[in-house]
């Protein structure tokens, strides 16, 4: 039975499905989920992420976290964590660069939050020689200083969508028509959690809510505030959601999110306002364009040093990769980053202003 057939029979039995349930089933169903069954990153996959574009991305992040570790007195034992590490490339590059900082690697306990068994296996291979520990939930982070990275993790968390109807909201749901999955709207209902959005929306506007995001940050920030540490989050999104940003990608091209469940990546823009609201009592940096951040960390100097070792097509690919990560018309502006440190601690390098 395909995932499409499973979803259709479930909807026939139980009625229309919430979008967050649809998303999490498509992405993480144990037998048919998108992340559970494949390694989707890279030229041969469905999409490409910053660490897969160039080693410079993970290297600079590793050094930024190592600097924060030094700034906070270089604790002798700490968690070096990643949320949704994909192929493990970012962590491998961060560790290689971090090994240049005396004591950093020896003190680091690598901890990976990853839901997909298939990707855990890939991460184990990429990180051969290391001893990462995998966790199922953010609350499994040990009670110790925690330095963490999350690249394109929050956009993979399931969202709900609501369309305003007077002072109430109609939830967007997945139903069945004939043998096709279709979007529909549930009945108008009050949504007390969305009361603040009655101020800045009008009838017919669609807003999104990612309930899973805030508790992850709240738990993480409790660790960072209590024991020290820092976090760096990269994603694409907006300040306060407005409009439908659900997106399905297959073979590097957009597809209908309902057409091929389990075979396309599903993401939504992150709501940076909601993320920053969840970090108290830690201090967040400003939301900073990825390109600006990487330039401040010295990506151009690193690119020039690497270029000296390259020639021909690899040099050309390297120049393209640098541009792709930083140029405002490529990922440089679309992707944003922010840092998190304990209240009163120095901000991560590149995010001080
Ligand atoms: N950070 C990587 C991969 C981004 S794709 C990169 O930049 O290349 C999203 C990652 O998050 C995948 O590893 C996916 O399996 C994981 N993921 C998605 N939802 C998750 C969840 N609810 N819990 C844990 N991991 C999740």
pLDDT tens for each residue of 79-90: 999 999 999 999
CB 86 less than 6 A from any atom of ligand 1: yes
pLDDT tens for each residue of 250-287: 988 999 999 999 999 999 999 999 999 999 999 999 99
Domain spanning 1-287: which CATH class is it, in words?
alpha beta
Q: How many CB atoms lie within 10 A of CB 12?
A: 10
Q: Whose CA is nearest to atom 10 of ligand 1?
A: 84
pLDDT of residue 295: 98
CB 151 less than 6 A from any atom of ligand 1: yes
Q: Whose CA is nearest to atom 3 of ligand 1?
A: 86
**Beta bridge partners of residue 83, listed in sequence order:** 113, 150
What atom in ligand 1 is closest to the CA of residue 113?
Answer: 24
CB 339 less than 6 A from any atom of ligand 1: no
Domain assignments of the chain as residue spans, ordered by start: 1-287, 300-336
Q: Whose CA is nearest to atom 16 of ligand 1?
A: 84
- Between CA 196 and CA 198 the distance in angstroms is 5
Tell me the pLDDT band of 44, cut-offs 50, 70 and 90.
confident
Tell me the pLDDT band of 42, cut-offs 50, 70 and 90.
confident
pLDDT of residue 67: 98
pLDDT of residue 46: 85
Query: Using only C-alpha atoms, what is the Rg of the chain?
Result: 21
Q: Whose CA is nearest to atom 18 of ligand 1?
A: 156
């Amino acid at each position: 039975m395909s995932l499409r057939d499973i979803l259709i029979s479930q909807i026939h039995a139980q009625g229309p499905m919430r979008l967050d349930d649809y998303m999490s089933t498509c992405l993480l169903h144990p037998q048919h989920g998108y992340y559970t069954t494949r390694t989707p990153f890279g030229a041969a996959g469905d999409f490409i992420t910053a660490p897969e574009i160039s080693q410079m991305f993970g290297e600079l992040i590793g050094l930024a976290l190592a600097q924060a570790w030094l700034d906070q007195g270089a604790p002798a034992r700490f968690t070096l964590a990643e949320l949704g590490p994909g192929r493990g490339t970012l962590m491998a590059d961060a560790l290689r660069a971090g090994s240049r900082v005396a004591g950093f690697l020896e003190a680091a306990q690598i901890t990976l939050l990853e839901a997909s068994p298939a990707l855990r296996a890939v991460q184990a291979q990429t990180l051969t020689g290391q001893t990462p520990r995998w966790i199922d939930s953010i609350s499994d982070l040990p009670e110790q200083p925690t330095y963490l990275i999350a690249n394109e993790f929050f956009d993979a968390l399931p969202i709900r969508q609501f369309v305003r109807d007077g002072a109430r909201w109609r939830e967007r749901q997945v139903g069945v028509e004939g043998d096709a999955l279709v979007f529909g709207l549930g009945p108008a209902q009050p949504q007390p959690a969305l009361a603040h959005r009655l101020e800045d929306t009008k009838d017919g506007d669609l807003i999104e809510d990612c309930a899973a995001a805030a508790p992850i940050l709240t738990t993480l920030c409790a660790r960072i505030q209590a024991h020290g540490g820092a976090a760096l989050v990269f994603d694409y999104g907006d300040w306060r959601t407005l409009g439908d940003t659900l997106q399905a990608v297959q073979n590097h091209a957009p597809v209908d999110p309902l057409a091929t469940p389990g075979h396309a990546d599903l993401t939504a823009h992150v709501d940076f306002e909601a993320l920053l609201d969840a970090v108290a009592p830690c201090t967040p940096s400003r939301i900073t364009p990825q390109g600006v951040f990487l330039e401040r960390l010295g990506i151009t100097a690193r690119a020039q040093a690497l270029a000296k070792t390259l020639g021909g097509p690899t040099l050309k690919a390297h120049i393209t990769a640098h541009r792709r990560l930083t140029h405002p018309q490529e990922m440089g502006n679309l992707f944003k980053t922010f840092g998190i440190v304990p209240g009163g601690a120095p901000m991560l390098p590149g995010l001080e202003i």
